[in-house]
Amino acid sequence: MLLPKTEKRANGEAFDEMSPAKAIDAFVNAQQVAAGAVSAIPKEIDAGADAMAQAVRDGKSLIYVAAGSSGLMALADACELCGTFGISGDIVQIHMAGGVPTTGYMPGNTEDETDKAESIGRTTSKGDVALILSASGTTPYAVAAARSIKASGGTVIGIANDPSTELLNLADIKICLETPPEIIAGSTRLGGATAQKVALNLMSSLMGVKLGHVYQGLMVNLVADNAKLVQRAAAIVSQIAQVSGQDARDALEQTSGNTKAAILVAAGASLDAAQAALRSNDGHLGPCIATLKPTKPKKSN
């Protein structure tokens, strides 16, 4: 039987026969190699980020679809978009075979439920973007979802660890992460999942940049919905606008927690001018800072 690379046994000494020190070194090295697979496909990663950003601009959906370990990677990325980049939760969908687990048990048979995967396409329309993950590239749930979503006019970003597989053949944007056989054969929660997580992190982060939600490496569109994040938002405003922490908090209160607008207000712009500048620059903070003239003196630290 011809096994996919994700199911093959790694060459060399078996993991369970290594000394603890050697096993740790081998494991860490395998993870680093897996993560490095992402750097081999920069154009594809950027194309995925472009598609995601365009969907958000158009108010369309970002749809995450996967089973098993890949589903957990998809879940982690999807659930971070709102807090990190201020993406509306209403446009993010998560479809995990069998549903999101509430215990430590994930039934394996749910990845064969193609009828449930096909139903995803019935709520998909042109402009929606689906990120569909499968380490082997052949998981029935993932493949059926890809076929259904394409038929409804959605764009499919296929993410797999084996090349020339059905999911990648169906995908509009092919993210092939060629990771080597796992250090524990077939356990794609290891290297395969690491590469998928890195790829998802990178695409969603680049999406945030393209939408203007990252400025000078800072999360300027974060949703400050707890004490820690309110403090982080104030620190961001203080750092960029070069004002005191109290001035930053005052600006955030004036803008109802809108971090971008608060930066401009703290720097001396009126609230109306700040909001107008952000609208005219599609939410990108850099051009606003470069062109907006303060209407009041900037407070000292």
pLDDT along the chain (301 residues), means of 10: 72 91 95 96 98 98 97 97 94 96 91 95 96 97 98 97 95 97 92 97 98 96 88 96 95 94 95 95 94 57 48
The number of CA neighbours under 13 Å toward the Cβ of 171 is 29
Indicate if 111 belongs to the active site: yes
pLDDT digits (tens, 9 = 90+) for 51-97: 999 999 999 999 999 999 999 999 999 999 999 999 999 999 999 99
SS3 per residue for 184-232 = CCCCCCCHHHHHHHHHHHHHHHHHHHHCCCEECCEECCCCCCCHHHHHH
Q: Catalytic pick from 7, 13, 17, 111? A: 111
What's the CA angle centered on 110, arms 130 and 93, to 5 degrees? 25
Q: Catalytic pick from 13, 17, 80, 166? A: 80
What's the CA angle centered on 244, arms 240 and 247, to 5 degrees? 95
Give me the domains of the chain, ranges plus CATH numbers. 5-210 (3.40.50.10490), 214-291 (1.10.8.1080)
pLDDT digits (tens, 9 = 90+) for 266-278: 999 999 999 999 9
List b or e across 4-43, with b for residues whose CB sees 16 or more CB atoms inside 10 angstroms.
bbbbeebeeeebeebeeeebeebbeebbeebbebbeebee
Whether residue 212 contacts residue 62, with contact meaning beta carbons closer than 8 Å, is answered with no
pTM: 0.92
